[in-house]
Amino acid sequence: MTKEEIMKPENLVYRKPELLNDTPMHYCPGCSHGVVHKLVAEVIAEMGMTEKTIAVSPVGCAVFAYNYIDVDWQEAAHGRAPAVASAIKRLWPDHLVFTYQGDGDLACIGTGETIHALNRGENITIIFINNAIYGMTGGQMAPTTLLGMKTVTCPYGRVPELHGYPLKITEIAATLQGTCYVTRQSVQSVGAILKAKKAIRKAFEYSLQGKGSNLVEIVSTCNTNWRMTPEKANQWMEENMFPFYPLGDLKDTGK
């Protein structure tokens, strides 16, 4: 069988999601953001919500997310995405509203907005990309940076006496009464990616059904600022991030 015989439209099994447009993504090679963008685009299309989705983009590496996924977007001030999303959801209750935020945006400057939006039980979904570092600004220490991890602002490693302890925002969210579905996933392998996709779909469905706020944390890599190859960064994440940020559902009251 020749390549031409196989490459026919009826034999197509995987292609770039249609909602993801042809604009080349500005992310570094191997960045987890691209995979999560693909998952979000696939889930929205599969749910048939293309025309009824409003997303809120953060400040951070994902600030240009609105250039890549063809749904309606609103850019929020740094950390304020959950507040903006709350307003949008209240004005458009039949729309799918989600925010897409990194750890600097969500777990640092936007901690207040995040916790209160989740606690109010706004029917939104927050997708939280946690790579334990400030990616866009050049690899500074973030609240989620692991103890002992080296960044440009803690070159000898993070020490609790000086820098405090890493913040587990997802665990905090699971204790709030307003949240419906709180989960932690990753996207380093095929299996993990398929699980993450299911989690995103579940969170989107719950928020549409008005069951409360949903948080999907994706433990991610930042190979550029971790100073590793993408392959090595995935291994490092499995060895160092997963023991501190264990994967799985922390709360699911929507069943």
Partner 1 sequence: MAKMKGATLVDIERCKGCRLCVVACPLGVLALTTKNVNQKGYNYAEAVLEDTCTGCSSCAIVCPDGCITVYRKKED
The pair of structure tokens assigned to 135 is: 């990616």
State the nearest-atom distance from the C-beta of 43 to partner 1, in Å.
14
State the nearest-atom distance from the C-beta of 32 to partner 1, in Å.
7
Nearer to partner 1, 19 or 84 (CB): 19
- Can you give the binding site for partner 1, defined by CB under 8 A? 1, 3, 5-8, 11-17, 20, 24-25, 27-35, 38, 189-190, 193-194, 229-231, 234
Helices (H), 160-252: 160-163, 169-174, 190-208, 230-236, 242-244
State the nearest-atom distance from the C-beta of 121 to partner 1, in Å.
33
Nearer to partner 1, 92 or 231 (CB): 231
The pair of structure tokens assigned to 234 is: 């995935």
The pair of structure tokens assigned to 115 is: 């916790």
Nearer to partner 1, 15 or 255 (CB): 15
> How far is the CA of 54 from the CAs of 50, 91, 103, 182, in angstroms?
9, 11, 21, 21
Nearer to partner 1, 26 or 90 (CB): 26
State the nearest-atom distance from the C-beta of 205 to partner 1, in Å.
22
Nearer to partner 1, 34 or 121 (CB): 34
State the nearest-atom distance from the C-beta of 213 to partner 1, in Å.
28
**Which distant-in-sequence residues (6+ apart) come within 8 Å of 94 by Cβ?**
52
Q: How many CA atoms lie within 13 A of 211 on its CB side?
A: 19
Instruction: Name the phi and psi angles at 150, rounded to 5.
Output: -90, 130
Nearer to partner 1, 8 or 255 (CB): 8
Q: How far apart are the first and last CA of the chain?
A: 47
State the nearest-atom distance from the C-beta of 195 to partner 1, in Å.
12
State the nearest-atom distance from the C-beta of 28 to partner 1, in Å.
8
For residue 151, what is the DSSP state?
A: B
**Which distant-in-sequence residues (6+ apart) come within 8 Å of 123 by Cβ?**
89, 93, 97, 207, 208, 210, 211, 212, 213
Nearer to partner 1, 21 or 140 (CB): 21
Residue type, 76: A
Query: Taking the C-alpha atoms of 35, 138, 233 and 78 in order, what is their torsion angle to the nearest 10 degrees?
Result: -40
